[in-house]
Amino acid sequence: MSWIGMIVRFIVAALVLMVMGYVVPGFSPIGFWSALLAALVIALVGYIIEAMFGKSVSPYGRGLVGFLVSAVVIYFTQFLVPGMHVSILGALIAAFLIGLVDLFIPTAVR
């Protein structure tokens, strides 16, 4: 993937996270720079989880395990990103909606 492709991917992910703050209950609205940092943290944690346990348990994996890992990653990202606050229910709903968005606009490198 080119540098421009990676930059576009993180900007799209940040925009999705910003929208989640207004759409998902339990997910506080965040600014662009916090959303960009959150997208970076989520990508790094997802990469680490995938490297340790394989693609089936990564946040980008499919199925129930991938969904739950994605929700956990979103929830714990709030502890690394200033201004981001997510409830457990908010993380579950956001993981579901991000999964739906990923069906139509894939953001993972395939």
pTM over 0.75: yes
Q: For residue 22, give both structure tokens.
A: 């207004």
- Per-residue confidence (pLDDT) for residue 57, from 0 to 100: 59
Torsion over CA: 79, 81, 82, 83 (sign): negative
The whole-number pLDDT of residue 90 equals 92
Distance CA 36, CA 34 (A): 5
**pLDDT (tens digit, 0 to 9) for every residue of the chain, 110 residues total?**
577 877 877 788 888 889 988 999 999 999 999 999 998 888 888 778 778 877 665 555 556 777 888 889 899 999 999 989 999 999 999 888 877 777 776 555 43
Please state, in angstroms and rounded to a whole number, the distance separating the CA atoms of residues 98 and 55: 17
